[in-house]
Amino acid sequence: MKLQKATAFALYAVLELAAEPGRQRTAVEIADKYGISAHHLAKVLRDLGRAGLVEAVRGVGGGYRFVGNAKRLTLMDVIGLFEGTSAEADAPTPGEGQDIASGLRYVLAELDAQTGATLRSISLSTMLKLVARRPWESLAAARPARPTRAARRGP
Amino acid sequence: MARRSTTLPPQASGEDPTIRPATLADVAGVIGLDEEVTGLRKAAYWQDMFERFGARRRDQRFFLVAGAPGHLDGFIIGEVRAWEFGSPPSGWVFAVQVRPRLRVRGLGARLFAAVCARFRTAGVARVRTMVARDNAVIHAFFRSQGMMAGPFIELEMRLD
Ligand SMILES: CC(C)(COP(=O)(O)OP(=O)(O)OC[C@H]1O[C@@H](n2cnc3c(N)ncnc32)[C@H](O)[C@@H]1OP(=O)(O)O)[C@@H](O)C(=O)NCCC(=O)NCCS
């Protein structure tokens, strides 16, 4: 699954804001941290505002703060505001007698069920705890170094 | 330093004092709580579960409860399983329930922490479970405890 830019930006922003619910942050602050377009992020924040996940704070400094329920909002809730996640829906509709195409959609539906269940089971609060544990570090340590081109080619 | 002793009160051993191993007197409470949650009365099933997980091999099998006998607040069941599918010994959690009106106050997390503490004492380094894909509550609960998808995939087929 490949997240569209707007979706990834929305997840960065919502999770940054949910990490410190009392604090307001501007689009520029968040955009700078991730090296992304502040203009694009500002648009995404307005969408998140309309969906009731964040609120614009008026006055000096301005910015946004998180107003959702981090224990109940899931990654899927945020992603679903910006894009669908179904691989099956993206596959061409099989025509009469195209059993292979139907079979392919059947397998894609299995992947979709897995993807959906995963994204619906991870709340923003669970995601923030995961980030704090940094599990990717032990994964990288356990993974053997990638062989170089020369090593793959062999002697 | 004081020597570890089984006669220490639960607090002194660092255990959650409100969570204890089930006794025969708790089985009726488990049956009642499960009936309240699922709408089905499975007396023989829970009796059998207690005999298998609460009464035997109690260094490897854990049937833990919270609350008073006859009126339980929640329970959790787990065991150490070895070499299933080639996997080194690991802890398996296969039932957890909290009384509906006591939910979302941390009891589920405390039951899970208690069974994990016993798994650690039993010498295993990993805990596993399986959830129904469409049971979002139980899936979200285990995820919130830090669980992620493991390296196994469940496969099945119809036998007809
Ligand atoms: C799953 C269950 C054990 C959770 O017990 P609980 O006492 O409510 O859980 P806790 O209060 O300790 O909550 C722990 C975490 O789970 C999350 N959680 C609990 N209920 C949730 C729900 N309905 N939706 C989303 N997340 C939930 C909490 O938000 C909390 O997350 P946090 O760590 O981010 O704060 C309880 O809901 C239950 O008994 N459900 C039915 C069990 C069942 O279906 N059993 C059948 C299979 S054995």
Residue boundaries of the structural domains of chain A: 5-86+123-135
**Using CA atoms, how far apart are residues B78 and B116, in angstroms rounded to an integer?**
9
For residue A153, is pLDDT > 70?
Answer: no
- Tens digit of each residue's pLDDT (9 = 90 or more) over A12-54: 999 999 999 989 999 999 999 999 999 999 999 999 999 999 9
H or E stretch covering B86: none
Could you tell me the distance, in angstroms and rounded to a whole number, from the CA of residue B126 to the centre of ligand 1?
A: 21
Question: Residue B140: CB within 6 Å of ligand 1?
Answer: yes
Q: What's the pLDDT tens digit per position in B38-88?
A: 999 999 999 999 999 999 899 999 999 999 887 899 999 999 999 888 888
Residue A33: CB atoms within 10 Å: 11
CB-based burial, B6-37: b 16+ in 10 Å, e otherwise: eeeeeeeeebbeebeebeeebbbbbbbbbeee
Confidence of residue A150 (pLDDT cuts 50, 70, 90): low
Name residues whose C-beta falls within 8 Å of residue A96's C-beta, 6 or more positions apart in sequence: none
Domain A5-86+123-135 has CATH 1.10.10.10: yes
B5 vs A48 pLDDT, higher one: A48
Q: Write the single-letter amino acid at B104.
A: V
Task: For residues B54 and A91, give the distance between their C-alpha atoms in angstroms, rounded to a whole number.
Answer: 51
pLDDT of residue B123: 95
pLDDT at B8 over 70: no
- CB distance B123 to B145 below 8 Å: no
The mean per-residue pLDDT over the stretch A42-68 comes to 93
Q: Do B146 and A114 touch (CB under 8 A)?
A: no
Q: What is the pLDDT of residues A99-110, one digit of tens each?
A: 999 999 999 999
Q: Where along chain B do its domains lie?
A: 19-144
Given a contact cutoff of 8 angstroms between Cβ atoms, the answer to whether A72 and A20 are in contact is no
Of B75, B139, B125, the C-alpha closest to A126 is B139
* Res B13: pLDDT: 59
Q: How far apart are CA A81 and CA A51, in angstroms?
A: 8
Structure tokens at A87: 């691989």
CA pair distance B103, A127, nearest whole angstrom: 21
pLDDT of residue B26: 96
Residue B129, both tokens: 């479970």
Q: Which residues does B116 contact at the CB level (< 8 Å), separation at least 6? A: B91, B127
CB-based contact A120 B136, cutoff 8 Å: yes
Which pLDDT score, from 0 to 100, does residue A11 have?
98
CB distance B143–A126 less than 8 Å? Answer: yes
CA distance A80 to chain B (A): 16
Atom of ligand 1 nearest to the CA of A70: 34
Residue B10: which pLDDT band, with cuts at 50, 70 and 90?
A: very low
> How far apart (Å, rounded) are the C-alpha atoms in residues A121 and A123?
6
> Is the separation of the CB atoms in B80 and B91 below 8 Å?
yes
Are the C-beta atoms of residues B22 and B63 closer than 8 Å to each other? yes
Name the residue at shortest CA distance from atom 9 of ligand 1: B108
Give the mean pLDDT of A115-134: 97
Atom from ligand 1 closest to the CA of residue B95:
48
| % of residues, chain A, pLDDT over 70 | 92
Inter-residue contact A27 to A43 (CB < 8 Å) = no
Q: Which residues of B touch A113 (CB under 8 A)?
A: 133
Mutate to test the pocket of ligand 1, among A73, A74, A123, A130 (most ligand atoms within 8 A of CB): A123
Report whether residue B28 contacts ligand 1, using a CB cutoff of 6 Å. Answer: no
B19-144: CATH topology is Aminopeptidase (3.40.630)
**Both tokens assigned to B11:** 């607090």
Q: ipTM of the predicted structure?
A: 0.87
Q: Is the pLDDT of residue B6 over 80?
A: no
- pLDDT greater than 70 at residue B9: no
Mean local confidence (pLDDT), A86-91: 87
Note the pLDDT of residue B20: 96
